[in-house]
Amino acid sequence: MQTWRLIIDQDGPGDENMARDESLLRAADLRTKVPTLRLYGWRSPAISVGYIQNPSKVLPFGLPVVRRITGGRAVIHDMELTYSITAPTGREPFAEGINGAYSAISVCIINALKDIGVDAAFSRGHRSGKGAEKDACFHSPSRYEVLVNGKKLVGSSQRRLKNAFLQHGSIIFGVNRALHERIFGEGIVERMSWIGAHSGVAREAFRDILVKRFAEGFMADFKEAALDDDEENLKDELLKAKYLTEEWNHNCVRRYKDPLALKER
C-alpha cells in the first residue's frame, strides 16, 4: 500500500480551482510529495480552455473563462464532479508515461461507473470534427477516455513536468442543453453522455465510490487532508499572477509572460 493524500474541496470558482491544481503540481515537482487525489466542483457555470487554445470563440457568451495549464479543448463546467491527480512521474501506477497514466486512471473511473450500473468503456481512438463543435472537449474522445454507448462522459487532460504530472478531468452528471448548444452549436449534446441519464446516484455518493475504486486500483491508503501552507501560498501567488488576469485567461498564451514559469519535462 502507498500513502496518498485525499483532498475533498467545496465547489469553487474556476480561477481558484485551476490555481489549486497548479499549486499541487508545482509543489509535487519541487519536492518529494505523496500522490494527491483532489475532488471538487464548480460554484457556478464556467468555461475552461486548453493551454494553447484560442479562447476567442467562447469569450462572447458571458460565462467566466479560465485557462488550464493542461491541454485539450474547451469544457463547460457545470453539473459535474472534477477529479485531479498529482503524482511523481516514473513510479507505479504511472510508470508507463502519458498513455499509461490515462489508462490507469480511466480504469478506476470505469469501475466506479459500473458500480452504479453505468456500462462505461475505453475510447480506443480519436475522432476529429469540423465546425464550431471541434472547439469543445466533449465533441470527440481521445484514446483511453471514458465512453458510454460510444459517447464521452469523462473529459481529461494532462500536464507533465520533470518530476511530477497533473491529470484532471470532468465527470459529467447533467447537461444544460441550451447552454451547450448556444456556445458549441447544435448537435454537441448528442455526442455527450452523463451519469444522470443512466443512474440516479447523488454526486456525493458517487464520489465515495470513486475514492474506493481509486484506492483499489492504485493500492492507495488515502489520508484526508488539505493543501499545506506552502501550497496555499503558492495558490495565492498563482491567482494573482495568472488566474485572475485577462492576460492569462483571455489572450493567446504565447504572448503571456509567466512570472512563475514552469519547468517542462
Catalytically active residues, by annotation: 137
195 contacts 172 by C-beta, under 8 angstroms: yes
188 contacts 138 by C-beta, under 8 angstroms: yes
Task: Compute how many other C-beta atoms are within 10 angstroms of the C-beta atom of residue 178.
Answer: 9
Comparing CA positions, the residue from 101, 99, 98 lying closest to residue 35 is: 101
169 contacts 156 by C-beta, under 8 angstroms: yes
35 contacts 5 by C-beta, under 8 angstroms: yes
**208 Cβ contact list (under 8 Å, min separation 6):** none
